[in-house]
Amino acid sequence: MKNQYAIAARGLSKHFGELKAVSELDLNVPKGEIYGFLGPNGSGKSTTIRMLCGLLTPTTGSADVLGTTIPGDAKNLKPRIGYMTQKFSLFGDLTVQENLKFIAEIYSYRRSDRSRRIDELLQRYDLVEQRKQFAGTMSGGQKQRLALACAVLHHPDLLLLDEPTSAVDPQSRRDFWANLFRLAESGTTIMVSTHYMDEAERCHRLAILDRGVKVADGTPQELQANTGMNVIEVVAKNPYAAQAALDEVAEIVSVTQLGVRLRVLIPDRHADPVDRVSAALDSRGVSASANIASPSLEDVFVAVTVKPEARQ
């Protein structure tokens, strides 16, 4: 079973004094897939990635990463991993080509193949015209492509990406994900942390973290099918009045406004959710329609991160 996973973690925890950044985390990341980490800032995504690549020592627990035990001999693991942070970690006073040459030197890439490999990456990530441009003068999207080229230069088996699209425009994000799919198709396992719902939906599997705890794990489709919530979509001319009316209903755990629409979550143990919503709106004289809707990944996120007392 272990051989089918690039990462298999059990009870992985990291404490900083009284702060429990990650608590008892179990993970199974299949080889050759894109595995997403979804969660707000401070949920433990970056801390987990740093433990998995050997930059942080776990307080408790362990992980098997590409057949290497963490904590353990991380030195042998690092040449097989590519790591890209949200700040891209480029050398601004070096040109694009010099950044790639420096990374090749760090990984002791074969000298006879370095020029060919760098030319290949410049072509693949559309950086040929920027070959002699200083990295510090590049746009966010260009820096992102260069950072990815640096991370994969040595053909890593595992690519760890820590919120790599947080500082780029939507087109750059789309192009970046197209490159990730090509890497996954070629056999590279990718773990990517994000707080964008549309990106999480592109992952083969994902885990949702909340305050250092994994609260959900599965394919996007599995998570959407098992929210434990009825999702009611309300369309109202006055969404503010509609939300005020629904905020008074004890069974409702969340109301999210999307333009003139509201997404209402009610635990599925409550019968007749549409009738409950409609009655609350009618009692306040709010004109609106209410219908059952299919859960989105954002609904899943709200459902699994809602406070325990709200669930009860």
Residue by residue, pLDDT tens for the chain (312 residues) are 457 899 999 999 999 999 999 999 999 999 999 999 998 888 899 999 999 988 899 999 999 999 999 887 778 888 999 999 877 788 999 999 999 999 999 999 999 999 999 999 999 999 999 999 999 999 988 999 999 999 999 999 999 998 888 777 888 888 999 999 999 999 999 999 988 888 899 999 999 999 999 999 999 999 999 989 999 999 999 999 999 999 989 999 999 998 889 999 999 999 999 999 999 999 999 999 999 999 999 999 988 887 544 444
Same domain? 132 vs 236:
no
Same domain? 251 vs 188:
no
Same domain? 206 vs 232:
no
- Cα gap 234→230, rounded to integer Å: 13
Q: Find out whether 160 and 83 touch, Cβ atoms under 8 Å.
A: yes
Residue 223 — φ and ψ, nearest 5°? -65, -40
Write the CATH number for 46: 3.40.50.300
300 sits in which H/E element = helix 297-305
Residue keyed to tokens 């083969």: 204
- Cα gap 48→193, rounded to integer Å: 10
Same domain? 80 vs 194:
yes
The total of structural domains in the chain comes to: 2
Using the Cα atoms of residue 9, residue 10, residue 16 and residue 18 in order, give the sign of their dihedral. positive
Same domain? 13 vs 147:
yes
Range of the domain at 37: 2-219
Last residue of a domain, one of 219, 239, 260: 219
- Cα gap 110→70, rounded to integer Å: 28
- Cα gap 64→211, rounded to integer Å: 24
Helices (H), 92-164: 96-106, 111-124, 140-152
Last residue of a domain, one of 219, 241, 260: 219
Q: Find out whether 205 and 241 touch, Cβ atoms under 8 Å.
A: no
Same domain? 6 vs 118:
yes
Same domain? 104 vs 133:
yes
Same domain? 205 vs 141:
yes
Query: What is this structure's pTM?
Result: 0.88
Same domain? 49 vs 192:
yes
- Cα gap 77→149, rounded to integer Å: 20
